[in-house]
Amino acid sequence: MEFTHYKTFPIELKEEWNQLLSKSTNNVPFLRFEYLEDWWQTRGGGEWPQRAELAIFAAREGSELVGIAPFFITEHEGHKKLMLLGCIEISDFLDLIVSVNHAQEFVSALLSFVSTQFLSQGIHSLDLYNLLEDSPTVQQLFEAGKSAGFEVTKSVLQQAPFITLPGDWELYLESIDKKQRHEIRRKMRRAAESNAAIEVYFTAEQTKVEEDTQAFLGLMAQDPEKAAFLSPAMREQFKISIQRAYENGWLQLAFLQVDGEKAAAYLNMDYQNRIWVYNSGLDRRFMEYSPGWVLLGHLLMWANKNKRNAFDFMRGNEDYKYKFGAVDRLVCRVTLIKT
């Protein structure tokens, strides 16, 4: 297995990269070439310093691309480390990109390559955030890491609730708690029967993307914590990511409109037959209509009708996710230090 180290984003790998991701165990939108290229451009919306160094390692068996370790080198917690592109704040799920048939071999070869080429250059460790705990990569890192003389540790970062969808709205409702089922129906019915004109609107036209992006960010910023999060660099990251998602056909930017005004919004990704819930916002002037719950209900209705197999709330254990029937997965961090 032969490795190539890329210090700039390898545009020539774009097609192969995404093809390999489609065969990888965890085909998540945050590992797409386009997403990570944009993330690197803004350094995660300003999360990381511009002086961070790109370190993408691509492995081939003959002419076939079989694995990618999308790393960068930066200072973190007082040490210089190899970390996954996308971490930590805004990319909910990350991983190595490797075909299932080559996974164990790739992880072992990667650790050998890193040990000989990088750990002697003042790099303290490999620090991989936002791995799904059930990813095969976690176990492979433990096995290969210990064999190669690394101290390997894992810590749970947070929950990542999701809903498995039956493909039918009524069947979905029957699967959740009776009290919550009644509450969802009551709020959706009350909004529909109000004197206001209630409409669910999806961004569908290129000419509306910029305007709707600004509207979404405005709704996000009505939450004080989210307003503080939305620095100029982070706003730029959101704008780029939304545009890229639209260009590639996986954007789901949805609004609940009340008498023509945008009262609530969800920014999701419609990717690999799964809805990935990325962020949301609402206008508190319209709270009498329960705009967040009503819009979420309509999105779950849409997802069932259109036969999406899951509704993934991703990271965070907010109470409303469980009220809609979500169950937990765990997201973890794996650190490898050479002993």
Tokens 């037959």 found at: 273
- Contact assessment for residue 183 and residue 234, using Cβ atoms and an 8 Å cutoff: no
What is the reported pLDDT for 302? 98
Q: What are phi and psi of 156, to 5 degrees?
A: -80, 130
What is the reported pLDDT for 173? 97
The DSSP element (H or E) to which 339 belongs, if any, is none
What is the reported pLDDT for 124? 85
CA distance 163 to 85: 27
What is the reported pLDDT for 119? 77
Phi-psi sector, 143: left (phi>0), alpha (psi -120 to 50), beta: alpha
Question: What is the three-class DSSP state of 168?
Answer: coil
User: SS3 for 213-262, per residue?
Assistant: HHHHHHHHCCCHHHHHHCCHHHHHHHHHHHHHHHHHCCEEEEEEEECCEE
Round to the nearest angstrom and report the end-to-end CA distance of the chain: 25
Question: What is the three-class DSSP state of 319?
Answer: helix
CA distance 135 to 138: 6
What is the reported pLDDT for 122? 82
What is the reported pLDDT for 121? 76
CATH 3.40.630.30 positions along the chain are 2-159+331-338, 162-312
Pick the CATH number of 2-159+331-338 from 3.40.630.30, 1.10.10.10, 3.40.50.1860, 3.10.450.50: 3.40.630.30
Bridge partners of 312, per DSSP, are 162, 276
What is the CATH code for 162-312? Answer: 3.40.630.30
Tokens 């993330």 found at: 39
CA dist list (Å): 287 to 41, 174, 187, 282, 291: 38, 26, 11, 9, 6
Query: Which residues of the chain fall short of a pLDDT of 70?
Result: none
